Amino acid sequence: MYDVSLPHPYLLFLGDTTEPGYAKTAFGLRDWAPQRCTGEFSCPGATVTTGLPFLTPAQAHAAGARALVIGVANAGGFIPPAWVAALVDAMHAGLDLIGGMHMRLRDIPELRDVAAQLGRRLIDVREPPARIPIATGRPRTGRRLLTLGTDCALGKKYTALALTNAFHKRSHDATFRATGQTGILIAGGGIPMDAVVADFAAGAAEILSPDAAPSHWDIIEGQGSLMHPAYAGVSLALLHGSQPDVIVVCHEPGRERVLGHPEFKVPGVREIIELSLRLGSRTNPRIRCAGVSFNTAKLDAAEAARVIAAESERIGLPVADPMRGGEAFDRLVDACLA
């Protein structure tokens, strides 16, 4: 989908989730679209929280919420039967439902029937646009930046959003291009790349970042990793289709094993930079790496600063944690715009 009109404010639904990594949709909305979030709601047994007020659907509706957003993306992207009663309650309280799972809300008979009875909307944002073309490889006007990762779930979306904000602060025309359900909910538009048929994925990346003014930047949210055992395909499609002039590689220091696939080691930053430039040059010979984004959430400030400085010296490129900002991040932004 491109531009979408979503009812908001949102009540963030956390299901019965106990793994924080599965709640990145809820955390992303809390961090990047707080003005759209009224509170959170979960089922018994849930241990994950965003820190927002806990509200029942009725309380949230009374406080102004207009939709319940499924804020988790579990392995397989399915909606467990144990969640259905809570989702039905939300519709009875006056809320539409917004989902970003692989399982469609409308494919659950009970939700479909209740929505029809009450006149509620079931909105699935993981729905690609119709008639996506096959990629052409044709060069396009404008400038593009793509975030790439050494693994999944380590900051590609946050880095793209932070860079977009930084470009705006420096008076550069820039657009965040969302490629996953959380980004689409934040931006109000985008294409869910993992729902696109493989042969058309690079074409989807092309239409996501079309011809633009020479000074305009598209900041494209990366997905997966080029060396991920399951999700390398979407990463390569984005790299070829978006034809980035600039890449920023994202990494979590200390993560040694691929998330969900512990039998595989996380590749090194240099390895991903070299591979990305070699593969990306197929559709953009001018591609370059501006630097590296570190997710240092598990480190204290002093250790984060030490690791960032050491890695920057080792690879000879700016390294920064966009969420910490500071001079290191300013240097990364300078390098992107150079």
162-205 confidence digits (pLDDT tens): 999 999 999 999 999 999 989 999 988 899 999 999 999 999 99
Integer CA distances (angstroms), 215 to 71, 239, 276, in order: 35, 21, 24
Write the Ramachandran bin of 336: left for phi over 0, alpha for psi from -120 to 50, otherwise beta. alpha
Adjacent-strand bridge partners of 99? 124
| CATH number for domain 143-337, candidates 3.40.50.620, 3.90.850.10, 3.40.50.300, 3.20.20.70 | 3.40.50.300
Do the domains 143-337 and 10-124 match in fold?
Answer: yes
Instruction: Provide the Cα torsion 27, 30, 33, 39; round to 10°.
Output: 130
Euclidean distance between CA atoms 81 and 281, whole angstroms: 46
Q: Mean pLDDT throughout 14-21?
A: 90
Q: Are 27 and 35 in contact (CB under 8 A)?
A: no
Helix, strand, or coil here: 30? Answer: helix
Q: Average per-residue pLDDT in the chain?
A: 95
* pLDDT value for 188: 83
What pLDDT is stored for residue 78 in this prediction? Answer: 85
Residue 3: what pLDDT? Answer: 53
Return the exposure string of 71-107: e unless at least 16 CB atoms fall within 10 Å of the residue's CB, then b: bbbbeebebeeebeebbbbbbebbbbbbbbbbbebee
Where do we find the tokens 């519709």?
91
Rg (CA), the chain: 20
Fold of 10-124: Rossmann fold (3.40.50)
Residue 239's closest CA among 250, 224, 258?
A: 224
Would the CA dihedral through 262, 267, 268, 273 be positive or negative? negative
Q: Does the pLDDT at position 75 exceed 80? A: no
Distance CA 58, CA 36 (A): 17
At residue 145, φ and ψ (nearest 5 deg) are -130, 135
User: What are phi and psi for residue 290, nearest 5 degrees?
Assistant: -85, -25
Is the Cβ–Cβ distance between 34 and 89 less than 8 Å?
no
pLDDT of residue 1: 44
All residues at 6 or more sequence positions from 327 whose CB lies less than 8 Å from its CB, including other chains: none
Provide the pLDDT for residue 4. Answer: 58
Q: What is the pLDDT of residues 232-268, one digit of tens each?
A: 999 999 999 999 999 999 999 999 999 889 999 999 9
Please report the pLDDT score of residue 21 as a whole number.
80
Domain range annotation of the chain: 10-124, 143-337
